DNA sequence: CTGATGTTAGTACCAACTACTAAATGAGGT
DNA sequence: ACCTCATTTAGTAGTTGGTACTAACATCAG
């Protein structure tokens, strides 16, 4: 392992640090077979913060991601809404949403966007999906911006019919017809899921 | 704000630190109006690690959570599978999967379990959901163990029909009929999503 | 050979600690 | 009021993983 020249080492350093932020300067100096000072100069030039700052950063970032990925009320970001009438949301397909092999979006994320949009558009304390007919008309892929539109067709008593269409650059990727159950009693829930 | 007595202070300390792990001993000593040494004695007695260790811990823990919640290939754990015939999976409803208000499972997680089971049961390089008719028959809740069963009804050419039923303690919570598109060409994907 | 670029050494200093000793302050109990 | 034990505070030395700075090498190209 002949030592790298500056340029090369710095590129590898960036990569190393971003894949494993838990490396001290000392460890890095061993990996690259240079002195600690060299590593520090490199970090200075590349604006890589010190170990503790890096860790703090991932800790904060990840806690936020957790909230936005798993605890969020809605998959996708709502960009327009008229309660009990219609709603629009944007969902950007990221790495975790696709099949690794071919980068095609997993169907259930498109469904999740549509489903949570239906829940959101209904202006009642409790709204649950009762049934749905759905169709995936085209494959969407990593990086796509999926715009989903929900239109409330009918509301009577405790039942709403909503049609959803999702498009990437005007082209339909998903459509569905959702039957929702809703009520103003907050703690029902022994009926549907 | 009269200062607390030891017992009380230590309980509050545990709570404080777990809700916000980014607090230094100095900040904590200000909050509780005691000296830094007192805080350190408390941490010693309660086995609370120092700031840096706490941060390191959340940073590592959270990165794992991310992977298990968002990047997993299958929602739920496959417990039995006979390719092109049938498959069973178990999905335990956790905090991130339910509505906070009433702890009812969001529909799209049940759909995700069924959908990913359908993808898994088909023994071909590429399998995509083309359409589905689904029904949520009962509400499932936080802590429920949902067993999903997929049965391949028919396979011809590039099309498979799969019926899925999901139950919590024998009681049906979800059922669906999935139409899947599949092919042995790895990089198709311009058809469905 | 000289100069620029790159690398290493070394010092002083910092935050946020641990580990330890020792002194001051309570709060009761009799 | 006095003694006592628990609690709190103070202070010192040492650690990790750094920053910031100065100064001394090393390497190579023209």
DSSP code, position B187: T
Is the Cβ pair A131, B136 closer than 8 Å?
yes
End-to-end CA distance of chain B: 60
Q: How far apart are CA B146 and CA B169, in angstroms?
A: 8
Is the Cβ pair A66, B62 closer than 8 Å?
yes
- The H-or-E segment that residue A31 falls in is helix A25-32
Task: Answer whether A6-69 and A77-183 agree in fold.
Answer: no
How many C-beta atoms lie closer than 10 Å to residue A27's C-beta?
A: 14
Average pLDDT, integer, range B43-60 = 92
Q: What is the pLDDT of residues A136-172, one digit of tens each?
A: 999 999 999 999 999 999 999 899 999 999 999 999 9
Q: Which CATH architecture has domain A6-69?
A: Orthogonal Bundle (1.10)
Q: How far apart are CA B184 and CA A45, in angstroms?
A: 49
Reduced to 3 states, what is the DSSP secondary structure of residue B85? Answer: coil
Q: If you compute the radius of gyration of chain B from its CA atoms, what whole number of angstroms results?
A: 25
Q: What is the pLDDT of residues A52-82, one digit of tens each?
A: 999 999 888 766 665 545 545 567 888 899 9
The average confidence (pLDDT) of chain A is: 88
pLDDT value, residue A94: 83
What the block records as the tokens of A104 is 């095609």
Where exactly are the structural domains of chain A? 6-69, 77-183
Q: Does domain B6-70 have CATH number 1.10.10.10?
A: yes
Q: What is the pLDDT of residues B85-121, one digit of tens each?
A: 999 999 999 877 888 889 999 999 999 999 999 999 9
At a 7 A CB cut-off, the residues bordering strand C are: A 5-6, 9, 34-35, 37-38, 41; B 24-26, 37, 40, 43-44, 49-52
Give the CA distances from residue A172 to residues A107, A137, B130, B132, B187, in Å, rounded to whole numbers and listed in that order: 14, 7, 13, 16, 21
pLDDT value, residue A76: 83
pLDDT tier, B3 (very low <50, low <70, confident <90, very high otherwise): confident
Question: What CATH number has the domain spanning A77-183?
Answer: 3.10.129.10
Question: Contact B175/B166 with Cβ under 8 angstroms?
Answer: yes
pLDDT tier, B138 (very low <50, low <70, confident <90, very high otherwise): very high
Reduced to 3 states, what is the DSSP secondary structure of residue A109? Answer: helix
What the block records as the tokens of A183 is 């009520």
CA-wise closest residue to A113 among A138, A142, A147: A147
pLDDT value, residue B73: 57
How many C-beta atoms lie closer than 10 Å to residue A139's C-beta?
A: 24
Cβ-based contacts of A100 with chain B (< 8 Å): 73
At a 7 A CB cut-off, the residues bordering strand D are: A 24-26, 37, 40, 43-44, 49-52; B 5-6, 9, 34-35, 37-38, 41
- How many Å apart are A18 CA and D28 C1'? 32
DSSP code, position B184: S
Question: Contact A32/A13 with Cβ under 8 angstroms?
Answer: yes
With left for phi above 0 and alpha for psi between -120 and 50, is residue A139 left, alpha or beta?
beta
Q: Chain B contact for A185, CB < 8 A?
A: no
How many C-beta atoms lie closer than 10 Å to residue B60's C-beta?
A: 15
Cβ-based contacts of B193 with chain A (< 8 Å): 104-105, 107, 110, 136-140, 173-174
């Amino acid at each position: 392992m002949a030592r790298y020249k500056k340029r090369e080492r710095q590129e590898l350093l960036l990569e190393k640090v971003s894949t494993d932020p838990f490396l001290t300067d000392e460890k890095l100096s061993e990996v690259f077979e240079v002195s600690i000072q060299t590593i520090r100069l490199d970090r200075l030039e590349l604006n890589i913060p010190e170990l503790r700052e890096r860790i703090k950063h991932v800790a904060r970032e990840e806690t936020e991601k957790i909230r936005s990925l798993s605890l969020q009320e809605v998959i996708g970001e709502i960009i327009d809404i008229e309660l009990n009438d219609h709603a629009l949301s944007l969902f950007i397909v990221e790495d975790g949403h696709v099949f690794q092999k071919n980068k095609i979006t997993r169907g259930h994320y498109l469904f999740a966007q549509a489903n949570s949009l239906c829940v959101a558009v209904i202006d009642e304390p409790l709204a649950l999906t009762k049934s749905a007919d759905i169709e995936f008309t085209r494959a969407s892929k990593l990086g796509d911006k999926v715009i989903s539109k929900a239109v409330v067709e009918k509301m009577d008593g405790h039942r709403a019919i909503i049609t959803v269409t999702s498009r990437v650059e005007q082209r339909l990727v998903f459509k569905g017809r959702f039957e929702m159950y809703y009520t103003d009693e907050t703690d029902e829930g022994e009926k549907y899921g």
